[in-house]
Amino acid sequence: MILVFSEFFRSSILFSDFRVGGFPSMSSDLDYLFLFGDWKLCAETGPVDRFQNLLWSRKTFVDHMKVYNHSYIYMPAFSMKTGTEPSLRVYYTLSDVGANQTVLFANPNFLRSIGKFWKSRGIHAKRLSTGLFLVSAALGLCEEVAIYGFWPFSVNMHEQPISHHYYDNVLPFSGFHAMPEEFLQLWYLHKIGALRMQLDPCEDTSLPPTS
């Protein structure tokens, strides 16, 4: 069983062994991702610019990483031009201090393949959300997938305000992501049983399906 957390929409993915057919194979590209131990737990943590892109003091970033212990950090160094320098800074920062984490660079072909896959199914955006990349990877690897936090609205089903986009609570730039289209596709996959979507607050890791 693997638990994946993505913080674009405070989203998480729970999946167990192997794969659902029809999705591009994961070579892979999961943006800024932590893989704990021997691939038992994954967490997508947010953008490097929280730490001034490591252009100044690196101590805060190194201290922040300690909570992840012996982990793999998966980054899009070659998937897009803007990701190259921050990814290399993370690699050299952790190498210089002898950190427990190992930095892995993602295969850029995975991001491209997943983008084409979802575009052919009606998601037209400049770039897919990080959460949808994570779902796609899970569906390409696993027999069972459960997701939480993929909700494109400003309030939850109980009309309570919810935050978005990592820690800054800022909505995506217009036209950059297509969150309603992504939600509809994920909801369709939930309805046909390809994954389980949790819409109410998730209190444990069993993630029972919602109706």
Domain ranges of the chain: 1-26+128-211
Q: Which residues of the chain have pLDDT under 50?
A: 1-43, 205-211
* Each residue's pLDDT tens digit, 63-111: 888 887 887 777 778 877 877 888 888 899 999 999 888 887 877 787 7
User: Which amino acid is residue 193, in one-letter code?
Assistant: G
The per-residue DSSP string of 124-163 comes to --SS--HHHHHHHHHHHH-S-EEEE----SSB-TTS-B--
Crossing angle of helices 130-141 and 179-191, in 10° steps, is 30
pTM higher than 0.85, yes or no? no
Q: Residue 51: which of 43, 42, 60 has the closest Cα?
A: 60
- Predicted local distance difference test score (pLDDT) of residue 209: 47
- Predicted local distance difference test score (pLDDT) of residue 24: 46
CA dihedral 156, 157, 160, 161 (to 10 degrees): 20
Dist CA 22 CA 2 (whole Å):
21
